[in-house]
Amino acid sequence: MTQPLADSGRGRWIAPMLVLLAAVIAYSNSFHGPLIFDDVAAIRDNPQILSLNPFKNPGLGPTAVAGRYFLIFTFAANYATSRLHVEGYHATNLAIHLLSAYLVYAIVRRTLLGAGIPATWLAGLAAAIWAAHPLDTAAVTYIVQRAESLGSLFLLASIYFVIRLADGRRGWGFAAVASCALGMASKEIVAAAPVLAILYDRAFLAGSFAGAWRRRWRIYLAMAATWLLILLSLHTGRREIMVGFHLGVSPLEYARTELNVMAHYLRLAFWPDDLCLDYYDWPIATHWSDISWGGWVVLGIAVATALALKYAPRWGYPGFWFFLILAPTSSILPIKREAAAEQRMYLPLVAVVVLAVILAWYGLRRWKGALIAGGICGWLLVALLIRLTIARNDQYSTTLEIWSDTVTKRPNNTRARIDLALAWAEASAFSKEGSPDAVYAATQAAQQFRIVLAEEPKFSKAVEGLGQSLEHIGQPRAAEDLYTRSLADHPDIEPELLVDRGILRARRSDWEEARADFLSAIQLNPQDAGPHYYLGAIDERQGDWKAAVTEYEAALRISPKYKDAGERLEIAKRRMASATEPSSAPASEVGR
């Protein structure tokens, strides 16, 4: 294979088409995956996306998107066009991935041109492997992780525009700065872009830092100026809740931990058989002996990268790309409850794949037959990765499926188990009441909640979930006893359990006991509208319309959009005006 053949006109359009086709096929079954995990807070319950102005209600967004204003705008655009129908969100994520895949192809091809190797086809193969790799599903199929893929798109674009800037057109420089700015407003990883750009210039364009700076210093200064947007994001995004040295993990402990994490990432890059949505239980490496052999290998690669940057910068650049992009999450700054997350490998995976493809070509280049066989194996690998990605997308198809998979792979992950229990509880709620399917789902939910409570007995969400599951199974007394024991054993547990117990007592017409629970809940949490609503329902049952009106009005003052309270208030006012004594509030009204 010669250079002219490799970069002929035919190859220049066939290769990128194959890249895009691989990505489209790989994600063809991803469009119906439901909102999961952080999707719920960032999309369904996020008031910021109700307006196309991303700066509206800046303090109300969840930490997953807060301060990332261009990311919020994209979600708002999706909401404006398709509300909460997930297909539009998934289609946008895939479009971002396709653009990123093309930029990977374009950057690699332009980097390899003139090096005496088949730039077009090697770039096409590397980009196709990356685009089809199942490790990318965490950033593409998981909707809220658009933050990762969108930031990566703009980082890639900024590098590509710097490369094109070397052709002498100033417009590419403005495009590089604009991409940097949009990326900074999407996710903080784009802070690496100015550094990666000047290092690329030094290694592949100018040949030295002095030359790169002399020719394009204005552009690099302008790109670096966009770091101010990162400061704005950190200021308004409340990242200190999840990130910082105050979280009980020392910088050295976290650095040791991240060596193991990066070793895991690299293993998944070459053997993606154990992909997992949530690594809440990833162990902290408190001693040097806790570092795995893979972690020591990663440390060795980091040292080799530093040496290569000095003596062979073109070979050191991929390693620097890998470590610098991971640095915000995989260095010494602790991140609470999320030492590992697969979406973080979305962009670092580019360096791993490109380096592997180039090294494979160098190993086979002397034998024409071996090169042909290697090319065939490379595209067969793309086909295999497509199949694995399709299978991974199937696991995202329901909340029950993805959390079952997560718990199977990480059985000690309490957070995943509680979400699995909630998924079973949701399945029970959506089944016909009392049907075998509903009872089975509730039984499975109860089993998962019990496992969680064995580890964390004060976890009120698990207590509440177990109680509700027992209700669905037909054991309301057992649920009430559970709430009573939890409230007695843990006086500081969430007051919502008082509300739950009050509901159960009201359902069997123990009005005074129920009233006492609701009043206690109000005393502990005056900002909860629910107890006022339930007290109003009890007053209705007892014919005290005036008291019912007072409670419903109290509920609406706390939560003006409380629809049920508004409807019952109108009924109570009419009854009070006509002095009708019998209650119209059914017993079921004093419930969920």
Q: Return the structure tokens found at 391.
A: 């299978």
- Does 304 share its domain with 353? yes
Q: What is the DSSP letter of 34?
A: P
Q: Which three-class secondary structure string do you get for 455-510?
A: HCCCCHHHHHHHHHHHHHHCCHHHHHHHHHHHHHHCCCCCCHHHHHHHHHHHHCCC
Considering the domain architecture, whether residues 499 and 459 belong to the same structural domain is answered as no
Residue 404 lies in a domain: no
Same structural domain, 159 and 239:
yes
pLDDT confidence bin for 2, thresholds 50/70/90: very low
Domain end (from 438, 465, 489): 489
**SS3 letters across 214-252:** HHHHHHHHHHHHCHHHHHHHHHHCCHHHCECCCCCCCHH
Sequence length of the chain is: 592
Q: Which tokens is 21 given?
A: 């086709």
- Look up the CATH number of the domain holding residue 461: 1.25.40
Number of domains the chain contains = 3
Q: State which of 489, 522, 548 marks the end of a domain.
A: 489
Residue 560 sits in a domain whose CATH number is: 1.25.40.10
C-alpha 352/C-alpha 347 separation (Å) is 10
- Lowest-pLDDT range of 41-45, 62-66, 364-368, 533-537: 62-66
Residue 381 lies in a domain: yes
- Residue 402 domain flag: no
Query: 291-305: b or e for each residue (b if 16 or more CB lie within 10 Å)?
Result: beebbeebbebeeeb
Q: How confident is the model at residue 175 (pLDDT cuts 50, 70, 90)?
A: very high
- Do both 516 and 453 map to the same domain? no
Q: Are residues 322 and 432 in the same domain?
A: no
Q: Are residues 282 and 421 in the same domain?
A: no
Residue 137 token pair:
């599903």
Query: Token digits for 32?
Result: 């119906």
Give the global pTM: 0.90
Domain's final residue, options 340, 368, 395? 395
| 102/546 Cα distance (integer angstroms) | 67
* 68 CA to centre of own chain: 14
Position of tokens 């599951």?
469
> pLDDT value at position 592?
43
Q: Is residue 406 part of a domain?
A: no
Give mean pLDDT, residues 408-415: 95
pLDDT class for 248, splitting at 50, 70, 90? confident
Containing structural domain, residue 474: 413-489
Taking each continuous run of H as one helix and of E as one strand, the counts in the chain are: 27, 0
Instruction: Return d(Cα 353, Cα 71) in angstroms, integer.
Output: 27
- Tokens matching residue 244: 């910082």
Is the Cβ–Cβ distance between 504 and 479 less than 8 Å? yes
The 10s digit of each residue's pLDDT in 123-173 is 999 999 999 999 999 999 999 999 999 999 999 999 999 999 988 778 899
What is the structure's pLDDT at 312? 95
Per-residue pLDDT tens digits for 200-246: 999 999 999 999 999 999 999 999 999 998 887 776 656 556 677 77
- What distance in Å separates the CA atoms of residue 137 and residue 26, rounded to the nearest whole number? 10
Position 203 in a domain: yes
Q: What is the pLDDT of residue 3?
A: 40
Same domain, yes or no, for 144 and 11?
A: yes
Q: Could you tell me if residue 401 is inside a domain?
A: no
Crossing angle of the two packed helices 368-395 and 119-132, in degrees rounded to 10: 20
Average pLDDT over residues 409-438: 93
110 plus 60 within the same structural domain: yes
Cα(147)–Cα(72) distance, rounded to whole angstroms? 9
Q: Tell me the two tokens of residue 230.
A: 């990162």
Structure tokens that stand for 590 in this block? 């004093």
- The answer on pLDDT for 93 being more than 80 is yes
Are 347 and 452 in the same domain? Answer: no
Distance of CA 486 to the CA centre of its chain: 33
Do residues 436 and 370 share a domain?
no
Are 418 and 298 members of one domain? no
Confidence band of 6 (pLDDT split at 50, 70, 90): very low
Per-residue pLDDT of 454-510, as tens digits, reads 989 888 889 999 999 999 899 999 999 999 999 998 887 888 899 999 999 999 999
In a domain, 407, yes or no: no
Average pLDDT, the chain: 91
The whole-number pLDDT of residue 433 equals 83
Q: Spell out the long-range contacts of 431-439 with Cβ–Cβ below 8 A and sequence spacing 24 or more.
A: 433/472, 434/474, 438/472, 439/472, 439/473, 439/474
Q: What is the rounded distance in angstroms from the CA atom of residue 349 to the CA atom of residue 319? A: 11
Contact 524, 513 (CB under 8 A): no
Domain assignment of residue 228, yes or no: yes
- In this structure, the answer to whether residues 84 and 157 fall within a common structural domain is yes
Query: Distance between CA 264 and CA 387 in Å, rounded?
Result: 22
